[in-house]
Amino acid sequence: MDWLEEELRRALAREDPPAGFERRVRQAVAQRRFPARQWLAAAAALILAVGAGTGYREYRGRVAKEQVKLAMRLAAASANRIQTHVRGVLQ
Amino acid sequence: MLVYLTKTGCDFEGLVHEHQAMVFSIAWHYLHDRALAEEVAQEVFLSLHRNLGRIESDAHAAAWIRKVAVQRAIDEGRKRLRRPQVTLEDIPEPASGSSASDPMLGSLLRRLVASLPETPRMIVVLRYQEDLDPAEIAEMLQMPVATVKSHLQRSMALLREKLARRSSGAGER
Amino acid sequence: MKRFIILICCAAAPLVMSGQQAKLNLDQLQAKASEHLDLNLNATTLQFAAKFLDADDPEEAQIKKMVSGLEGIWVRHFVFKASNSWTQADLEAIRAQLRGPEWTKIVGVKSEDEDETDEVYMRTVGNKMAGVAILAASGKELTVVQISGPIDLDALATLGGHMGVPKFKLPAQKPK
């Protein structure tokens, strides 16, 4: 290997990204998985739409179902994010 | 705090930790913009997260991540539609000859590499940062091995020429 | 400032959830948030909703299993226009409500520059798990989840399938 190749290897050696990069990736992953605004809008739209053409009990049941699903997804996203955060700290 | 964690399946956090330097450096050396390089690196890992189900092993993960990093860096470079223009006047003189530990020389070389055209630039990065041989580079960039070798030879010749002109005093003020 | 609020409450939602687990007071956060979601589901609603969850749908089947023994779920999610809208003082006001003898903090993680704080509290009655509270604050969002009743946190975190995430293993809680 000649001199220039050696210098290029040194000049192009891998460097770590700026401090906090891993944490920012975790946050980006969490936000992508949990796009709050989209869920809020979807929840509102679903609850409005679900009433069309159904009996009242059926309507209430489907609304309740969507509420429970939304609640569990929000809870799951939070729990999952915390797991990822803890994992990052312990590494 | 009492929390016990066990590793299971494909470890996304571990992959980020292990490969962040590679991904960031590919983007940084190609784009010569640290902020942009971090954005690209983040996108690469978001893409990894979306595609975790396709990863079959640690080795597969490394190859997959590198390939996506290369593609994203190239895409970002095309979006910007420009590369750093480096003239001899912009280049500070190395502290002394060809010292292996001269940080100025390293900085100069990085800028010269970043001023190469798109394809040769990535080939040089993959060759000298990632230590890939021409056949591996050819497979990654989907081009003939002969083309990779040709780009490498021309790029090295160009870099040598620019450095030689600088040391010969062509750029002295 | 335009505010977007979704308030989804069960009719006549009680202030106190079943099993004497009181709802946390988060009014100070609501005042600062640009968007706010409040879900308040008691045992009646959960049982009713469970009848409509589809056992053939993997996610709904998982949810049906998880909510079957629960007495209530309360979720409040806040979105702020700017980062740093929530403060450590806000979080401390929440923590103060989780310092009773039944509550134990089992997870506490904070990022270096404190824009990410995550905590999990477990409530035990006798020698049994009676609920959890999750506080997840990051950037422009803050979520507080209260679940009354026994919940598998491991199953919760993997709801819907989250590959690459390690699992919680909680130690057995000794009676105080």
Locate all alpha helices (DSSP H) within chain A, ordered by sequence: 3-11, 21-33, 36-49, 56-90
pLDDT at B150: 97
| CATH number 1.10.10.10 given to B85-173 | yes
Q: Is a pLDDT exceeding 60 seen at residue B173?
A: no
Kindly state the average pLDDT of the residues A2-24: 93
- Nearest C-alpha of chain A: how many angstroms from C43? 11
Q: Where are the domains of chain B?
A: 13-82, 85-173
Neighbours of A, requiring at least 3 CB pairs below 8 Å, are B, C
Q: Is a pLDDT exceeding 90 seen at residue C111?
A: no
Lowest mean pLDDT among A38-42, A84-88, B16-20: A38-42
- SS3 at position C173: coil
Contact at CB, C138 and A20, closer than 8 angstroms? no
Distances (CA, A) of C123 to B125, C46, C100, C126: 55, 20, 9, 10
pLDDT at C109: 83
pLDDT at A75: 86
Return the sign of the alpha-carbon dihedral for residues A54, A68, C49, C58: positive
Q: Is the full-model pTM beyond 0.90?
A: no
| CATH number 1.10.1740.10 given to B13-82 | yes
Question: What ipTM does this complex have?
Answer: 0.81
pLDDT at C110: 80
| Chain C residues inside the 8 Å CB shell of B9 | 163-164
pLDDT at C174: 37
- SS3 at position B51: coil
pLDDT at C1: 36
Contact at CB, B5 and C105, closer than 8 angstroms? no
Can you give the residue range of the structural domain that contains C130?
4-157
Nearest CA in chain A to B163: A4
Lowest mean pLDDT among B21-25, B94-98, B161-165: B94-98
Q: Identify whether C85 is part of a domain.
A: yes
The contacts of residue A48 (CB under 8 Å, 6+ apart) are none
- A-B contacts at Cβ under 8 angstroms: 99
Identify the H or E element spanning B121: helix B118-128
Lowest mean pLDDT among B67-81, B117-131, B158-172, C21-35: B158-172
Q: C44: closest CA among C76, C24, C17?
A: C17
CB C91 within 8 A of CB C144: no
Kindly state the average pLDDT of the residues C20-35: 80
Distances (CA, A) of B151 to A8, B72, B119, B145, C126: 16, 21, 8, 10, 73
Q: How confident is the model at residue A1 (pLDDT cuts 50, 70, 90)?
A: low
Contact at CB, A32 and B21, closer than 8 angstroms? no
Q: Where are the domains of chain A?
A: 23-90
pLDDT at C162: 41
pLDDT at A55: 77
Distance between CA atoms of residues A69 and C109, nearest Å: 27
Q: C138: closest CA among C75, C74, C73, C77?
A: C77
pLDDT at B82: 55
Distance between CA atoms of residues B126 and C67, nearest Å: 52
Contact at CB, A12 and B110, closer than 8 angstroms? yes
pLDDT at B97: 45
Distance between CA atoms of residues C142 and C80, nearest Å: 8
pLDDT at A54: 63
Number of CB atoms found within 10 A of residue B102's CB:
18
Q: Is a pLDDT exceeding 50 seen at residue C164?
A: no
CB C109 within 8 A of CB A86: yes
| Chain A residues inside the 8 Å CB shell of B105 | 7, 11
Backbone phi, psi, residue C5, to 5°: -125, 130
Site from C34, C52, C117 to mutate, A interface, most A CB atoms within 10 angstroms? C52
Q: Is a pLDDT exceeding 80 seen at residue B131?
A: yes
pLDDT at C8: 40
Kindly state the average pLDDT of the residues B80-109: 60
Largest distance between two CA atoms of chain A: 81
- SS3 at position B158: helix
Backbone phi, psi, residue C9, to 5°: -125, 145
CB A68 within 8 A of CB A62: no
Token duo for residue A3: 């001199």
Kindly state the average pLDDT of the residues B7-34: 85
Q: Is a pLDDT exceeding 80 seen at residue C113?
A: no
CB C91 within 8 A of CB C116: no
Average pLDDT, chain A: 77
Kindly state the average pLDDT of the residues A17-35: 78
Q: B120: closest CA among B88, B156, B95, B86?
A: B156
pLDDT at C86: 85
Q: How confident is the model at residue B66 (pLDDT cuts 50, 70, 90)?
A: very high
Q: Tell me if chain A has a CB within 8 Å of the CB of C112.
A: yes
The rounded radius of gyration (Å) of the Cα atoms in chain A is 24
Average pLDDT, chain C: 76
Q: C149: closest CA among C57, C61, C41?
A: C41
Return the sign of the alpha-carbon dihedral for residues A74, A77, A80, A85: negative
pLDDT tens-digit profile of C17-26? 444 567 788 8
pLDDT at C151: 87
Closest CB from C50, C145, C166 relative to A87:
C166
B56 phi-psi bin (left φ>0, alpha ψ -120 to 50, beta other): alpha
Q: Tell me if chain B has a CB within 8 Å of the CB of A89.
A: no
Total domains present in chain C: 1
pLDDT > 90: percent of chain B: 59
Nearest CA in chain B to A28: B46
Q: Tell me if chain C has a CB within 8 Å of the CB of A47.
A: yes
Backbone phi, psi, residue B81, to 5°: 55, 25
